[in-house]
Structures are given as C-alpha cells and as structure tokens.
Chain A
Amino acid sequence: DAGVTQSPTHLIKTRGQQVTLRCSPKSGHDTVSWYQQALGQGPQFIFQYYEEEERQRGNFPDRFSGHQFPNYSSELNVNALLLGDSALYLCASSTGLSYEQYFGPGTRLTVT
C-alpha cells in the first residue's frame, strides 16, 4: 500500500518565477491538504481540497493556488516567488471517515 507521494523532492527557483508541486494521496484517501513548514517552525496550513474543490484555506495570499484531480491527486502552484517562500512544502492526505492526516516526504523549495 503506497503512502503519500510528492514530487519533486527538491527544487531551486529564482524570485518572480512560478512553481508547481505535486502530490498523490494514500490509497483510499480522498482529501488532500497542503502545509508550508519554514525552518524551526511547525507546519502552517495553506489549503485543503476535497471533491476537486477548495474546502478550507489558511492565511496565505492568492499567489498560492491549487487543484485536485478526479483521481484525488493534487497540485500546489505558487506564482511570483519571494525569498520568504523558501520552505518545506508538505502534502497530507486523509479521508472524511477518520481523523488522521498522513504526510508525504515533502518538497524542499529554495528561492534565490
């Protein structure tokens, strides 16, 4: 049973560029949440997708957008990258039938 997968593992971008991160949820899970974790901090909630709709959103600007596909996989897009967007981006999958959210390995984004 495959767990949550994310791609790419690492990414280096320049300020002003755009980036797309990808996530495949754990088998049987239909909900995907995205979190940003800066160094030395706890993960911060970006948004959650369920049934291809954004169900909840955290305190992040519109530069952060997402999408969920019919197979429940998801993308996180960040436009006009800033140096402060450098962080570990985590995807978590879950199902409405349970409480647990399981994290993928994350994508380390560095903005120079």
Chain B
Amino acid sequence: QKEVEQNSGPLSVPEGAIASLNCTYSDRGSQSFFWYRQYSGKSPELIMFIYSNGDKEDGRFTAQLNKASQYVSLLIRDSQPSDSATYLCAATNFGNEKLTFGTGTRLTIIP
C-alpha cells in the first residue's frame, strides 16, 4: 500500500464548476498535508497546506482534512482553464521534514 494515494485521473471539469481532488494516507503519524500544482514540464508550486481537522479556505481553494478517515481533499471553486494541471498531495510527519507525495491527479478544465 502506498503511503499517499491519489486517483491519477484524468479528471475533467467544466469551466466554472467545482473541481474536487482527493487523497488518502496510510501513516497515522502524518501531521501536515500539502497541495501542490504542477504544470507540464514545470516544478511543483505550493497552493496550500493544512494540519488541523476541518476546512481551510484560501481564495477559490479549500483544503479539507479528516484525520480519523485519513483523508485530505482540495476543492477548486469557479474552475478556470488555467487550473488545468497535475495536483500533487503530500504529507509530512513533522514540521519541514521530508514530504511524501502521491502520484498526482491530472485535472483538465473544459471551456
């Protein structure tokens, strides 16, 4: 079982709709969770991180964490074509220690 799992997609969402990206993790010692966006041929760009159960909102993005279910999600509201990218979920056990990544979900926003 992989430590961090994501549905590889591709996930297609109409422009203006809500995109929902999901991630599960197996290590109960994981404390902090990160969502990175990666455009093709580019490096990962940090979107947001979450470490407390519940929701965290930043503009059009909302991260959700449920430690009991070992589940993390990212919602993108009012999806734009520029949101088309691969979204990587990552976990860490403590502070700025090593990130363990999932394989990423490829998201396509359809105009």
On whether the beta carbons of A99 and B44 are closer than 8 Å, the reply is no
On whether the beta carbons of B98 and A100 are closer than 8 Å, the reply is no
CB within 8 Å of B: which A64-112 residues: 88, 90, 92, 94-96, 98-106
Q: Which residues of A contact B90 (CB under 8 A)?
A: 42
Q: Does B62 contact A (CB under 8 A)?
A: no
On whether the beta carbons of A33 and B103 are closer than 8 Å, the reply is no
From B13-21, B45-53, B64-72, the one touching the partner chain is: B45-53
Chain B 50-93: CB-based contact to A (< 8 A → 1; otherwise 0): 01000000000000000000000000000000000000101010
Q: B47 to chain A: closest CB distance in Å?
A: 11
CB within 8 Å of B: which A30-53 residues: 31, 33, 35, 40-45, 48
Q: A12 to chain B: closest CB distance in Å?
A: 17
CB within 8 Å of A: which B29-55 residues: 32, 34, 36, 42-46, 49, 51
On whether the beta carbons of B96 and A105 are closer than 8 Å, the reply is no
Cα-based distance from A96 to B101 in the complex (angstroms):
20
Interface size class of B (residues with CB under 8 A): 20 to 34
Most buried by B among A58, A90, A95, A101: A101
Q: Does B22 contact A (CB under 8 A)?
A: no
On whether the beta carbons of B46 and A45 are closer than 8 Å, the reply is no
Q: Does A56 contact B (CB under 8 A)?
A: yes
Q: Which residues of B contact A42 (CB under 8 A)?
A: 4, 88, 90, 101-104
On whether the beta carbons of A41 and B98 are closer than 8 Å, the reply is no
Q: A19 to chain B: closest CB distance in Å?
A: 18
On whether the beta carbons of B95 and A45 are closer than 8 Å, the reply is no
On whether the beta carbons of B43 and A45 are closer than 8 Å, the reply is no
* Given contacts A41-B103, A44-B101, A96 and B96 within 8 Å (CB-CB): yes
Chain A 9-25: CB-based contact to B (< 8 A → 1; otherwise 0): 00000000000000000
On whether the beta carbons of A95 and B96 are closer than 8 Å, the reply is yes
Q: Which of A40, A58, A103, A104 contacts B98 (CB 8 A)?
A: A58
